[in-house]
Amino acid sequence: MLRVALTGGIASGKSTVAERWAELGAVLVDADVLARDVVEPGTPGLAAVVERFGEGVRAAGGALDRRALAEVVFTDPGARRELEGILHPLIRERSAELEAAADPEAVVVHVIPLLVEGGRTPEGFDAIVVVDLPEDLQLERAMRRDAASEEQVRGRIAAQAARSERLAVADLVIDNSGDRQELLAEADRVWAELCQRRAVTKS
């Protein structure tokens, strides 16, 4: 197994790269997806979040009101850390289960937006891949995709590591300052590099 971490800031292009790699055979373990799974209606995760943040973060149908919770946690770092304290252990547990179920020959790609934010150098991965782009492009793409204001997106960027901190831990960098086609070409280039590393590890 080759264990790869894929990280990058909000709207950097992680999902686009991860989808491409999945087409090429990667097994994906996506923390953003798991962060949703662990607060599905009826889960202990949702119960714990409502217990801490109140019924105001539960929408009419019973699901988590993500917009309401985002308003709270991206304007209050203490509240955000409390939410992370509830959800991150649940996300880590699910990630470990998914990885344990993967083929031993697989390239397992952990998509982890907050890899660097843990405050220490992430260990245990065979490769750390960072999707990188200038902040003005990141802001523009996030605002367009999420129909969000500049202030809302800046709130999330402020809650994340700086570009330089992510680049400092990168083994491989995917440049997403070009168009979508160029991003896919970058993804293919780095995938080939990862496969080569796996071949070396095996021999």
Ligand X SMILES: Nc1ncnc2c1ncn2[C@@H]1O[C@H](COP(=O)(O)OP(=O)(O)OP(=O)(O)O)[C@@H](O)[C@H]1O
Q: Which does 66 bind (CB under 5 to 8 A by kind): ligand X, ligand COD, none?
A: ligand COD
**Binding-site member from 2, 5, 6, 10 for ligand X (CB under 6 A):** 10
Please indicate if the annotation marks 16 as binding a ligand: yes
**Binding-site member from 2, 4, 6, 8 for ligand X (CB under 6 A):** 8
User: Which of 181/203 has CB closer to ligand X?
Assistant: 181
Residue 155 as a binder of ligand X (CB under 6 A): the answer is: no
Residue 176 as a binder of ligand X (CB under 6 A): the answer is: yes
Judge contact between 95 and 117, C-beta under 8 A.
Answer: no
Instruction: Kindly compute the dihedral angle of the four CA atoms of residues 173, 179, 180, 182, in this order, to the nearest 10 degrees.
Output: -50
Contacts of 178 (CB under 8 A, 6+ apart): 186
Residue 13 as a binder of ligand X (CB under 6 A): the answer is: yes
Report how far residue 5's alpha carbon sits from residue 116's, in angstroms, rounded to the nearest whole number.
Answer: 11
Please give the size of the binding site for ligand X, defined by CB under 6 A: 17
Taking CB atoms, the residue at the shortest distance from ligand X is: 15
Using CA atoms, how far residue 167 sits from 40, 142, 162, 171, 203, in Å, is: 34, 20, 9, 8, 30
Binding footprint of ligand COD on the chain (CB under 6 A): 10, 31-32, 35, 66, 69-70, 73, 80, 83-84, 87, 91, 113-114, 156, 159-160
Report how far residue 66's alpha carbon sits from residue 75's, in angstroms, rounded to the nearest whole number.
Answer: 14
Residue 14 as a binder of ligand X (CB under 6 A): the answer is: yes
Report how far residue 202's alpha carbon sits from residue 188's, in angstroms, rounded to the nearest whole number.
Answer: 21
Please indicate if the annotation marks 203 as binding a ligand: no
- The binding site for ATP consists of 11-16
